[in-house]
Structure 1
Amino acid sequence: MRFSADHQHVETAQGQDFAGLARTLFGNVRLDFGTADKEKSSMLSAMLGACRLTRLEADRHVVFGERVTAEPDDPDAIKLILQAEGSASITQGGLHAPVFTNSLAIYDPRRPYVLTNSTPVRQLLLQLPRQALPQTAIERLAAPFTANAEHDGMCRILLSLMESTMYEIGHLDAVRRASVGQTMIDLVRTMIGEDPAVQVVNPLDLLLARIKDFIAKNIDRPDLTIAMIARRMGCSVRYVYRAFEAERLTPSVYIWDLRLQQAAAKLGEAGGHSGEISRIAFGLGFSSSAHFSRAFRARYAVSPSQWRKAALS
């Protein structure tokens, strides 16, 4: 189930729907409840600007993250688990790290892992865009980073902020949510530690580069949408649009323009046999030959067939 508040999707799930929403939000994970009661599971999740914050309660279970980004539209984000109640442990890269109440673990879900919730748990999960952290921090996450609120003041602050944000989520507009999300990113950056010699790059510039790379690799998909891109980048739809603001483009305009550029290049190389124009159009994600022809003429002031003839002459 999902509902919208201030154009920010809030998603919820209970019981049998819990595992399905977990795969939607966290990627290609597999949950094993064994003999535990799935019906005791519940989840509430919301976007905080570039971040996603999720609160879940569940009976004991194991999460297998073997190929989290197996599909092109799976989310690609660094993950933080804050243990509000219960005991868990995470195994990754040959290392085993316990996660007790009031402690947290930060890890890179691209690397295979097993999260064992050995008791009923209440957890807060924060997904932050990979580009929000410096490369040195990403490299440190070859193994999970852990901290405990009893010994780490930053962990205590983050725990308090995440808890209070979930209670107030219904009263925060999009701007305030984004501000809270950025504060959480800053806290995580501080906790993991940064190399002062590393030049800080605008996160939106990094996001834009990753989006363009993703679009280029999936340009032939007719289902390539802004929502899919946002999920794959681990950010909100609004941040995908923000990444293109400096170029004064919308993501949709960029996608269709890239398709037309590639179509023009393919038409220049195409032979004269029947069906070639339609094959190129459908191969680049256009829904019909008529749609392709209209868009091509609007972009290049000639029809696809005229363009091909000019290239062959």
Structure 2
Amino acid sequence: MLPRNTVDTTVLPPGERFGMWLDLVARTSAPLRVESAHAADFAARADFTDLGAIQLVEYRYPSLDATRTRKLIRQSDPELYVLALTTSGIGTSSQDGRRSEILAGEFTFYDASRPHDVCHHANEPGRTRATSIITLIPHAALPLPPKRMAALYGGRMSGSEGLGALLAQFLIQVTGHPEQYHAVDAGRLGTVGLDLATTLLGRNLVAEDAVPTEVRRRALVTQVQAYVHRHLGDVTLAPRTVADAHHISLRTLHRLFEAENTTVAAYIRDLRLARCRRDLADPALRAQPVQVIAARWGFGDKAHFSRAFRAAYGMSPQACRDGAAVTARDVNDLASRVNSARAD
């Protein structure tokens, strides 16, 4: 599981919760002056996930008015950019004279080394807390011209289309399911998140040429891989359809994957075979014919699927299923013998 630190004010009585939150904010790398209409009972939570290159913070609170003042900056300036994805609630943000609405599904961007204001509160029926995912990016880690970043301060960027949607999905997945990753994955996930954030910011600067070539390549590879995962069951999925979907040439697509030590076709095939192997070993899917499972993951031809599966795993699909069934029976038999021995 990814390492995570959590602060939850509900472990304290209502009257002490806001004080706990103020203490948390005072100890963060970029402290804020905070006020809330719910200070009498501030039920809030913050989850911190360190991914090496970047840090993610998922916030939940009833309402918040926060200000990063010049005095606080003089006291502590970690030189961080803040890219905030609002997942629920509304509000406003401002920096350097630019003021924007905060809307669910959109990003806002700040420089923590400069004064800024944020107002965020819940507004949806049945919801008592506003939520957001904050990405903290060191100035030195963002490979974009610092002097040009001011054009984005206090502004909004879409989190529902293109690279914005891909980055939003990445942040929601990682913060929502840390148990699906290993601690050793943190560094690689941080690199992926930084590449996506860099490319998103570069696009919104209308200066994609400012984004380093390798960052653009990795971000596009991530985008292509996410597309393949979403369409894996489509029998028409092939390098040409992937290239067309991303408005690039087939040659460009192949060049993208050269650094990944595979080809697009092999990446698609290997993912499909892995999904088939998983389903064949699943006791809950035992009654489903092999070809139904193969078709679910894009293999329309039975003979082609069998050849590809045998080449990858050294056995037929049916042998894989039978082997999994035998293993499951052996495990069950062993468990029964152990339980019997304990009973005796």
Q: 1:32–1:131: structure 2 CA closer, same or farther, 3 Å change rule? A: same
Root-mean-square deviation over aligned CA pairs: 2.7
Q: Which structure's residues are more often helix, by fraction?
A: 2
- Confirm or deny: 8 A CA contact 2:53 2:194 kept in the other structure: no
Cα distance, 1:92 vs. partner? 1.1
Q: What corresponds to 1:107 in structure 2?
A: 110
In the TM superposition, what is the alpha-carbon distance from 1:81 to its structure 2 partner?
0.8
Change over 3 Å in CA distance of 1:141–1:170 after alignment to 2: farther
**Which amino acid in structure 2 is aligned with residue 144 of structure 1?**
G
Q: Secondary structure at the match of 1:162?
A: helix
The answer to whether the 8 Å contact 2:102/2:120 transfers is no
Aligned to 2:170: 161
In structure 1, give the amino acid aligned to 2:150: L
In 2, Cα distance between equivalents of 1:39 and 1:198: 41
Rounded Cα–Cα distance in structure 2 between residues aligned with 1:136 and 1:97: 23
Aligned match for 2:159, one of 129, 140, 149: 149
For CA contacts below 8 A with separation 6 or more, give which structure has more relative contact order.
1
Distance 1:198 1:42, change over 3 A: closer
1:95-118 residue CA offsets vs partner (Å, 9 max, x unmatched):
111120111111112111110114
Residues 104 and 171 of structure 1: is their aligned pair in 2 closer, same or farther, counting only changes over 3 Å?
Answer: same
TM-score between both structures, scaled by the size of structure 2: 0.51
Aligned to 2:80: 77
Describe how 1:33-112 pairs up with structure 2 within 5 A.
33-35=36-38, 38-67=41-70, 68-71=72-75, 74-112=77-115
Q: What is the rounded CA distance, in whole Å, between the counterparts of 1:48 and 1:148 in structure 2?
A: 23
Q: Report how many aligned residue pairs link the two structures.
A: 195
CA contact (8 A) 1:89 1:117 kept: yes
Q: In the aligned structure 2, how far is the partner of 1:33 from the partner of 1:185?
A: 32
- Whether the 8 Å contact between 2:30 and 2:112 is mirrored in structure 1 is no
Residues 137 and 98 of structure 1: is their aligned pair in 2 closer, same or farther, counting only changes over 3 Å? farther
1:138-287 equivalences under 5 Å are 139-141=148-150, 143-150=153-160, 152-193=161-202, 194=207, 196=209
CA drift of 1:69 comes to 3.3
- What is the CA-CA distance between 1:21 and the residue it aligns to? 1.7
Per the alignment, residue 130 of structure 1 pairs with 139
1:10 and 1:61 mapped to 2: Cα distance? 21
| Structure 1 residues 176 and 61, CA gap change in structure 2 (3 angstroms) | same
Q: CA deviation at 1:9?
A: 5.6
Q: Is the 8 A contact 2:59 2:132 kept in 1?
A: yes
1:10 aligns to what? 5
Higher Rg of the two aligned structures: 2
Pairwise CA distance, 1:183: 1.0
Contact 1:48 1:181 in 2 (8 A): yes
Q: Displacement, 1:171?
A: 4.2
Aligned twin of 1:117: 120
